[in-house]
Structure 1
Amino acid sequence: MTSLDLPYVPHYVAAPPTEEPLEYAEIPTIDISRADTEEGRAALAVEVREALHNHGFFYVVNHGYSQAQTIRMFDIADVAFSAVSDSEKRLYLSRRQEEGSMPGYTLREYTDTYSKVREQLQQYALCESHETKRQHPEAVRPLLPEIKEFNKHNHFNVLYPILRLIARSIELPEDTLVNIHDFGGTNDSSVRFIKYFPRTEEEETKTSNVWLKGHTDFGGISILWSQPVSGLQIKTHEGEWRWVRHLENALVVNTGDALGFLTGGYYKATVHRVIQPPEDQRTCTRLGVFFFAMPDDDVKLMPMAESPVLQREGLHRSYDDVEASTMEQWRRARTKAYGHSELKNGKEKGVEEEVINGVVVKHYN
């Protein structure tokens, strides 16, 4: 399909990158196109291992999408919010609270994790494994073929190469993790469009300018398509918060709980948060395009003890293997708890905790 054949969508005009002198994290860059050769994969596996150990995040470049294709996807993402009325959105709400399932809309009705204000974000999630069971808003329907292709691109051309590099980095067969991340199978991997709206001064004061408290993602790998409105911060090993710099047409990748469980803590889920944008972007909306990858629902989240690296380094088990949650149990429990669980002060200063399926989950102020 040529660009002339594509359905018309209005162009979403994002804010220009900030010119504020922010303290940025030093995040490594992975050129995923080098994974096409054996020599490249061997080198990249080392780079990925070091990136995840030292930073928990890395950029991906040369991922196969042109700048024009990326711009088009952000235009499509905005349609889900600007071209769909609130009343129509309510016809396609997610079942996150009832079923622990993300597909559909999450509106600005959830209380933030401070329980002081309503979140100023909307989300629309599309999951390949749910597509035969869900309908979509009228404005989104003509765009579904493109979204499906985008989903496939994330899954096969970005996620799978990363999973092969991670498996290789712990001396397992390259397809070990690929084999438990089936496309359109029994998992909740999803494309998500998220739009943050500016808060009032009163809301910012009540939440200390934090839009999304420090947390870990509950899946395996999270992929953020870089966008110019600053807000994302990562927590360094030294306990400091550092901004994530926008790189044009790059991806920002981090690990979640599931990979932490599967690697026995060798690769820890990385802590990050979203805060109020800097002064020169303060009145702007912040549109995000994401791909959240999860292992198949029936995968037991216990260490891959057959890994020679994990055997040498030692395994950290969050629970006995017999009691380990499946991916489905973990994602449903964490999804249901979001915005509704009662957090208690932890042992660390500025950290609140909740217990989910016998595992302590931390939230960082």
Structure 2
Amino acid sequence: MSSASVPEIPHHVPAPSTKEQLEYAELAIIDLEEAKTPEGRARLAPRVRDAMRDIGFIALKNHGWTKEQKDRIFDIADYTFTHVSDDEKRKYEGKMAETGSYQGYKLPKYWHIANGVQDSVEQYNMNRDVTVREHPEAMRPFLPELREFGKHNHFNVVHPVLSFRRTLFVNMYNYEAPGETSMRFIKYFPRTEEDEEKTKQVWLKGHTDLGGITVLWSQPVAALQILSPDGKWRWVRHIENGLVINAGDAMEFLSGGYYRATIHRVIQPPVDQRGYTRLGAFYFSMPDDSTRLVPVMQSPVLQREGVNRRFAEEDAPSMVDWRKGRISAFGKTELKKREDGHEEEYINGVLVKHYN
């Protein structure tokens, strides 16, 4: 879509990158340009496999969109929050607890974080099919661009990442099939020092994503951390016009534990970035709603390596049941405290942990 044909909106100026010395996770950086040849794919495949097994996160570059296209998406993301009135946001507010769907706005102070502190996070969630639900009037001129953003993530990022791990996974992520694969804009607002103390600087406690593959468009405010295999939280480094990819519950279930659903959290940014809002753009991909989340035993890898089941095959939920259960409960249910300080709950008979 040419720049001359799109509506003009204010430009979002991102925060400067932090200059603090942080302990970063060492993520494998995968060049998708290299993946366009059979030889390149053969070189990259073991690196993707090992990274997704050992850490659960990878970084991507040369994904096919320019910096200008990326900047435009962040302009639209910011506009979603700054140019829609509070009254209209409430009109398009999602009913997560009632419907098990994220579609629409999630307004701040919906989730409980810790010690009576509610979240300071605002979201706008859109189905990959932007015609499924009506949008605020201010957002409607951008729907063609958002549709292209969704298709780019789906076909040029998620499908290539899945195909590193055999096409049988790709066949479960059909663009036209019923499901809740979503584009999401997120804005984290700074909090009071009192709230930071009560939550030990945690903005979103450690968790796994519920779906298959999450695509995060890298932005400069440091706040995302990964729980490394050695049990230590490490920061995720900003990569200009890069993507950060992680696996969720559905991928772990379908791979019989071969690929990890990665534990991650969001905390207060370093000192030199405090006072800035943290704006994010994401694509949360999920298998088709009808997919039963059982290990794909026709995979030669799983036949060789074996599986680590989280539940008996006869108890396996479908993707629609799993997402509705996770979304309805997240940030709203009373969690059971564990001896190690973390928390847990059961959803559809599956133990789900929350990491403090």
TM over 0.5: yes
Partner of 1:353: 344
Secondary structure of 2:131's aligned partner: coil
Q: Is the 8 A contact 1:230 1:278 kept in 2?
A: yes
Question: In structure 2, how many angstroms separate the alpha carbons of the residues matched to 1:114 and 1:361?
Answer: 18
Partner of 1:166: 165
Q: What amino acid sits opposite 1:360 in the alignment?
A: L
Post-superposition CA distance 1:312-362 (Å, at most 9, x none): 211111111111000000000000001111111225x12111111111101
Alignment of 1:74-113 (within 5 A): 74-113=74-113
For residue 195 of structure 1, report the CA deviation from its aligned partner: 0.3
Is 2:152 the counterpart of 1:153?
Answer: yes
Q: Is the 8 A contact 1:343 1:353 kept in 2?
A: yes
What is the identity percentage for the equivalent residue pairs of Structure 1 and Structure 2? 54
Is 2:37 the counterpart of 1:37?
Answer: yes
Q: Which runs of 5+ in 2 are unaligned?
A: none
Question: In structure 2, how many angstroms separate the alpha carbons of the residues matched to 1:360 and 1:113?
Answer: 20
- Where does structure 1 differ by over 4 angstroms across 4 or more consecutive aligned residues? none
Q: Is the 8 A contact 1:115 1:339 kept in 2?
A: no
Of 170, 184, 199, 1:192 maps to: 184
Question: In structure 1, how many angstroms separate the alpha carbons of the residues matched to 2:338 and 2:349?
Answer: 15
Question: In structure 1, how many angstroms separate the alpha carbons of the residues matched to 2:198 and 2:116?
Answer: 7
Change (3 A) 1:89 1:184: farther
Secondary structure of 2:49's aligned partner: helix
Partner of 1:170: none
Secondary structure of 2:266's aligned partner: strand
Q: Is the 8 A contact 2:112 2:332 kept in 1?
A: no
Q: What amino acid sits opposite 1:335 in the alignment?
A: I
Q: Is the 8 A contact 1:216 1:270 kept in 2?
A: yes
Q: What amino acid sits opposite 1:185 in the alignment?
A: A
Partner of 1:213: 205
Secondary structure of 2:161's aligned partner: helix
Secondary structure of 1:222's aligned partner: strand
Secondary structure of 2:165's aligned partner: helix
Q: Which moved more, 1:292-301 or 1:34-43?
A: 34-43
For residue 165 of structure 1, report the CA deviation from its aligned partner: 0.5
For residue 133 of structure 1, report the CA deviation from its aligned partner: 3.6
Partner of 2:309: 317
Q: Is the 8 A contact 1:104 1:124 kept in 2?
A: yes
Question: How many pairs does the alignment contain?
Answer: 356
Question: In structure 1, how many angstroms separate the alpha carbons of the residues matched to 2:219 and 2:350?
Answer: 33
Is 2:274 the counterpart of 1:282?
Answer: yes
Question: In structure 2, how many angstroms separate the alpha carbons of the residues matched to 1:35 and 1:112?
Answer: 42
For residue 115 of structure 1, report the CA deviation from its aligned partner: 5.4
Q: Which moved more, 1:94-103 or 1:276-285?
A: 94-103
Is 2:131 the counterpart of 1:120?
Answer: no
Post-superposition CA distance 1:75-99 (Å, at most 9, x none): 0101110011111101111121111
Question: In structure 1, how many angstroms separate the alpha carbons of the residues matched to 2:73 and 2:123?
Answer: 15
Is 2:64 the counterpart of 1:72?
Answer: no
Q: What amino acid sits opposite 1:140 in the alignment?
A: M
Q: Which runs of 5+ in 1 are unaligned?
A: 168-174
Partner of 2:138: 139
State the TM-score, normalizing by the size of structure 1.
Answer: 0.95
For residue 13 of structure 1, report the CA deviation from its aligned partner: 0.9
Is 2:216 the counterpart of 1:224?
Answer: yes
Q: Is the 8 A contact 1:80 1:124 kept in 2?
A: yes
Secondary structure of 1:283's aligned partner: coil
Question: In structure 2, how many angstroms separate the alpha carbons of the residues matched to 1:350 and 1:213?
Answer: 12
State the TM-score, normalizing by the size of structure 2.
Answer: 0.98
Partner of 1:259: 251
Secondary structure of 1:30's aligned partner: strand
